[in-house]
Structure 1
Amino acid sequence: MDHTDLGKELMRKIAYRRTTGVLAAVGAVVLAATACGAQGEASDASTAAMAGASESVAAVSKSATGGVDEVRVEGAGGVEITMRGPIAARYASATSSEKQTLGPPLTGDRNAGTRDNGVVYQQFTGGVITARNDDPGTPAYITTGKIREAWNVVRDAQGIPSTLGSNGSAGPLGPVTSDEVERGAVRTTTFEHGSVAYDTASGAVTVTVQGKVVPTE
């Protein structure tokens, strides 16, 4: 190879290296731009998620003291239901599992309101939330399943099932005074005048009124 050919070969190598360097730089810029674009999309997604969370929170209205004043939620049939006072506070604090068990709230005057004894209530497709009264700060409780069924059995004053008695908070058990307490396989709810225990293993339901076990139904 003469000096002329050697010079040409050297020029080709230099040009190749410069071209490779430029392509690498362009690739780096493209990768950087792509990365920035991905971050932007992630940021937008986060913003959208935060906006969705804000919309959910907007369904809960708080009082001047910071407590839950009312909760708006879609009820059975797609009708918006507004819960207030102790009922709203208990629903707002319910776990995902509790809300799933309760299901959508039911509409109509028979499914929400105040009983003659002052107990306030909201019926759901799978349970009920009740409170002794609608005063702010009054605790409300969730009652579902077999325990609710036993509480709703019409009973006489001694707790014996009877067609001439009363049921629910107006019955011999009285208003609810606790949520379900689970110990092993047994779930128990207390009432002003007794308790109902449900053994999830055996399916047995035990109703106690004024300290005495009475027939379930």
Structure 2
Amino acid sequence: MRHIAGRRTAGIVAALAVTTLVAAGCSDDNDNDKDKAASSVASAVTGSEGASTSAGEDGGGVVTLDAADGSKVELTGPIAGKYAAATEAQKKDLGKPMTGDDAAGTSDSGVVFQQFDGGVISAANGTLGTPAYITWGKIRDAWNVDRAEDGQPSDDGKGGSDGPLGAATSDETTDGDMKKSTFENGEITYDTKTDKVTVTVDGKTVDTE
């Protein structure tokens, strides 16, 4: 994943009301239910800060947010779903979506992402239903460090989802003073009491930076 320096900048994000609908089957008996579902999802909900959600052509939601530069940023697929399902505290910590060439897109590994002032939402791919996760703070910073295949920091290595840790597989969890995020090939922990970050790749602890 392309690197954007992370900082947990508090931004005020409008509350979103989103209805998640699952339509199953394709028989004529389900036509009315599917029509109702499509109609419900297609109804836009607009917040006081200009955030809105509506249906995309693929049946998934589209979340539109105001960026810091005044432009509009559209979230789609798993990224939109994760943002819509986030708590108000998470949205506040994420802040406004970033813009520019490195702010969103698809990494070399196929991971889709959207950078925010205070974090990043990423998913292993852009297919609807693929789980998406929020990564931020010092864990995000350590994930973005360029690393060799063995996980050690290297100027010739790769960082983020393209690096040896791979894609995110969890949101940040908290157990006492310890915060942790897991990845395809390891985990990163942050001890808020000691301010220590520990990076583990393929079961081996490696240098943080």
Q: Quickly name the TM-score band, shorter chain normalised.
A: 0.7 to 0.9
In the alignment, what sits opposite 1:90? 82
- How many equivalent pairs are there? 164
Q: Which runs of 4+ in 1 moved over 3 A?
A: 62-65
Structure 1 residues 64 and 167, CA gap change in structure 2 (3 angstroms): closer
Shift of 1:210: 0.1
Shift of 1:68: 4.8
1:119 aligns with 2:111: yes
- TM-score with structure 1 setting the length: 0.72
Distance between the aligned counterparts of 1:83 and 1:158, measured in 2?
Answer: 34
Distance between the aligned counterparts of 1:54 and 1:167, measured in 2?
Answer: 37
Gaps of 5+ in 2: 1-43
1:150 aligns with 2:142: yes
Shift of 1:157: 0.4
Structure 1 residues 159 and 74, CA gap change in structure 2 (3 angstroms): same
1:202 is matched with which residue: 187, 194, 199? 194
1:181 aligns with 2:187: no
Instruction: Give the helix-richer structure, 1 or 2.
Output: 1
1:137 is matched with which residue: 129, 152, 163? 129
In the alignment, what sits opposite 1:60? 53
Distance between the aligned counterparts of 2:66 and 2:84, measured in 1?
Answer: 14
Contact 2:105–2:113 (Cα < 8 Å) also in 1: yes
Cα deviations by residue, 1:24-78 (Å, 9 ceiling, x for unpaired):
xxxxxxxxxxxxxxxxxxxxxxxxxxxxx9532981114699x752100101211
Aligned letter for 2:69?
Answer: G
Aligned letter for 1:166?
Answer: K
Contact 2:200–2:206 (Cα < 8 Å) also in 1: yes
RMSD in angstroms over aligned alpha carbons? 1.9
In the alignment, what sits opposite 2:62? 70
Gaps of 5+ in 1: 1-52
- TM-score with structure 2 setting the length: 0.74
Instruction: Please show how residues 166-177 of structure 1 align to structure 2 within 5 Å.
Output: 166-177=158-169
1:128 aligns with 2:116: no
Aligned letter for 2:193?
Answer: A
Contact 1:60–1:68 (Cα < 8 Å) also in 2: no
In the alignment, what sits opposite 2:203? 211
Cα deviations by residue, 1:11-32 (Å, 9 ceiling, x for unpaired):
xxxxxxxxxxxxxxxxxxxxxx
**Structure with more contact order per residue of length (Cα contacts < 8 Å, sep ≥ 6):** 2
